[in-house]
Amino acid sequence: MFHREGIRIILSAFIIVTVLVISIDYFEIKYGMTIKIFLIIMLGLVLQFFRNPKISVNKNENYILSPVDGKVVIIEEVFEPEFFNDKRLQVSVFMSPLNVHVTRYPISGNIIFSKYHPGKHLVAWHPKSSTKNERTTVVVENNNFGKILYRQIAGAVAKRIINYAKPGKKAVQGEDAGFIKFGSRVDLFLPVGSKINVSINESVKGGVTVISSYN
């Protein structure tokens, strides 16, 4: 199963690879077999990048779930200047190009803020990527956790962020909230003192791994 944001790219890649493979045979191009193998590998990478496997969402109103697949790279108290203008507990998950890049709602609730920012494309683990890179900021509010902010951040390779969250709509925990194309990071900003259930360098799964739990 593939994400809807990748269908056009997958079809284009398939057509291009097919035409090139046929052309290699027709024109008897030197090193044709090597080129064919390379083209098939590239097509395979495109297919795996846009995969959207079905998951069993670990749905629970007392959980904040990881919004993406990847590795936890930051857990620290920071000042959040865009929405809260106060200290928050930041948990950041880095996604390599090999991870599933679907963004999922970490909690259910009301979407009260959603904003896109054009920006740079620093490597996703750079300390300033959260405020300097192309990014979207979304805030979801629910009864247990209050206001939770998550931020999709484009990396050095990512060139487009897809965000489905719109103010006034309902977020449903674990459902598709967007997509980041080709390498990226997602930051969560939680209330200071939140119980954190993950550790640095831990691998997490979107819609499954519990980042924080309530009581």
Q: What is the pLDDT of residues 24-49, one digit of tens each?
A: 988 888 889 999 999 999 999 888 87
Q: Which ranges of 28-153 does DSSP label H, i.e. alpha helix?
A: 32-49, 129-132
Q: Which CATH class is domain 63-213?
A: mainly beta
184 is catalytic: yes
For residue range 150-178, what is the model confidence (pLDDT) as tens digits?
999 987 665 578 999 999 999 999 999 99
Any idea where the domains of the chain sit in the sequence? 4-49, 63-213
pLDDT band at 126 (very low <50, low <70, confident <90, very high): low
Does residue 132 register a pLDDT over 80? no
Q: Answer yes or no: are the C-beta atoms of 179 and 102 closer than 8 Å.
A: yes
Whole-number pLDDT of residue 33: 92
Whole-number pLDDT of residue 160: 76
The one-letter amino acid code at 57 reads V
- Cα 165 from Cα 19, distance rounded (Å): 38
**Length of the chain measured in residues:** 215
For residue range 72-115, what is the model confidence (pLDDT) as tens digits?
999 999 999 999 999 999 999 999 888 988 999 999 999 999 99
pLDDT band at 116 (very low <50, low <70, confident <90, very high): very high
Does residue 183 register a pLDDT over 80? no
Taking residues 122-140, report their average pLDDT: 77
How many Cβ atoms sit within 10 Å of the Cβ of residue 151?
A: 27
- Cα 100 from Cα 76, distance rounded (Å): 25
pTM for the model stands at 0.86
Whole-number pLDDT of residue 97: 80
pLDDT band at 21 (very low <50, low <70, confident <90, very high): very high
Whole-number pLDDT of residue 39: 95
**Average pLDDT, whole number, for the chain?**
90
What's the order of all strands across the beta sheet hosting 146-154? 170-171, 109-117, 135-142, 146-154, 184-190, 86-95, 70-80, 203-204
Measure CA 137 to chain center: 13
* Distant-in-sequence, close-in-space partners of 9: CB < 8 Å, separation ≥ 6: 46, 50
Closest by CA position to 142, among listed 175, 179, 106, 116: 106
Q: Which two tokens stand for residue 71?
A: 């590795």
Whole-number pLDDT of residue 123: 65
- Of these residues, 66, 114, 129, 184, which one is catalytic? 184
Taking residues 132-152, report their average pLDDT: 94
